[in-house]
């Protein structure tokens, strides 16, 4: 069967797009387009909401469908060299300063030895794909708002020097001292990627991808909680009638959030850490993921929310 000229053009454009993604630094257009992922959205009908609607002529019981789906709240970058966020348009937000100058890994200058000492900066910045994401999800029906605001910095490790580079005070927390607490993966399963605490930029690892993923998880852990001893803004929304926002991110628990790789490989699916997907080592030690978090909501149909029934 012969392909139409339009189909040829579409195929060539897709090929060029795939080439450009792997050949150039991560940009806003690429990130926004990545939000059109059915696997990450995971849209589904969750239940039914009940509302009391009252007018001058009386009151009635109204219903609306309760839906649930994931929203790309933020882009989390985890990178070695200070000031070199792989998302090029936001690099100016986290340039070196007097308290956060250097970066990179430890080295013994011996090529046959692994450099176990790793350091990663981390930035959590609002995902820029809200508009295109909202239009896409509206095709399924009612959609929920996320907590993130496009381009809003929620955590910049260059401004969080005491906690991020010195691990003060988290280096003495029980989670940092007791093996098995707050770890990504398990020793018994032979898939231990690292420890969440202390939530700073230093760790020891032989795999740069896994080290970057652990640091990204740490940054996500911070911003999805209130009252943490870090310099940051909480990435949280307040619950309201008919709206159930995402809560604290918990490692390896997809029901609290999942990750979509943006660079060095642009993925169309989401996963939690640890995972067995293809892992490409970034030549400059710079990685970025979109953090997707689950929200549930229903359309307001009255003045008083009476409750909801959730399907099994």
Q: Is residue 11 part of a domain?
A: no
What are 126-142's pLDDT values in tens digits?
A: 999 988 999 999 888 89
Q: Is residue 241 part of a domain?
A: yes
- Per-residue b/e over 278-310, b at no fewer than 16 CB within 10 Å? eeeebeebbbbbbbbbbbbbbbbbbeebeebee
The whole-number pLDDT of residue 116 equals: 76
Distance set, CA 214 to CA 25, 147, 264, 266 (Å): 22, 23, 16, 19
What are 142-171's pLDDT values in tens digits?
A: 999 999 999 999 999 999 999 999 999 999
pTM, entire model: 0.88
Q: Is residue 5 part of a domain?
A: no
What DSSP designation does 274 have? S
Q: Is residue 3 part of a domain?
A: no
Owning domain of residue 40: 19-310
Number of domains present in the structure of the chain:
1
Q: Is residue 204 part of a domain?
A: yes
pLDDT above 90: residue 90: yes
Q: Is residue 294 part of a domain?
A: yes
pLDDT above 90: residue 11: no
Q: What is the CA radius of gyration of the chain?
A: 22
Mean pLDDT within 29-38 = 96
Q: Is residue 252 part of a domain?
A: yes
């Amino acid at each position: 069967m012969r392909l139409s000229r339009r189909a040829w053009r579409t195929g060539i454009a897709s090929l060029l797009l795939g080439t450009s993604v792997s050949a150039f630094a991560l940009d806003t257009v690429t990130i926004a387009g990545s939000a059109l992922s059915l696997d990450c959205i995971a849209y589904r009908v969750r239940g039914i909401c009940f509302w009391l609607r009252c007018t001058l002529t009386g009151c009635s019981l109204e219903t609306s469908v309760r839906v649930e789906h994931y929203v790309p709240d933020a882009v989390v970058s985890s990178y070695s060299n200070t000031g070199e966020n792989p998302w090029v348009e936001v690099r100016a937000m986290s340039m070196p300063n007097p308290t956060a100058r250097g970066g990179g890994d430890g080295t013994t200058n011996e090529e046959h030895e692994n450099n176990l000492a790793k350091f990663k900066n981390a930035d959590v910045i609002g995902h820029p794909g809200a508009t295109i994401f909202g239009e896409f999800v509206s095709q399924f029906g009612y959609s929920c708002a996320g907590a993130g605001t496009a381009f809003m910095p929620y955590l910049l490790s260059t401004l969080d020097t005491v906690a991020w580079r010195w691990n003060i005070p988290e280096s003495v927390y029980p989670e940092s001292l007791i093996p098995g607490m707050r770890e990504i993966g398990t020793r018994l399963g032979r898939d231990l990627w690292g420890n969440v605490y202390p939530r700073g930029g230093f760790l020891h690892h032989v795999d740069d991808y896994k080290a970057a993923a652990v640091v990204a998880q740490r940054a996500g852990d911070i911003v999805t909680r209130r009252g943490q001893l870090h310099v940051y803004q909480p990435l949280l929304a307040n619950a309201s009638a008919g709206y159930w926002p995402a809560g604290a991110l918990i490692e390896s628990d997809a029901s609290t959030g999942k990750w979509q790789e943006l660079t060095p490989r642009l993925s169309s699916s989401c996963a939690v850490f640890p995972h067995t997907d293809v892992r490409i080592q970034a030549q400059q030690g710079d990685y970025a993921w979109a953090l997707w978090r689950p929200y549930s909501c229903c359309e307001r149909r009255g003045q008083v929310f009476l409750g909801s029934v959730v399907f099994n």
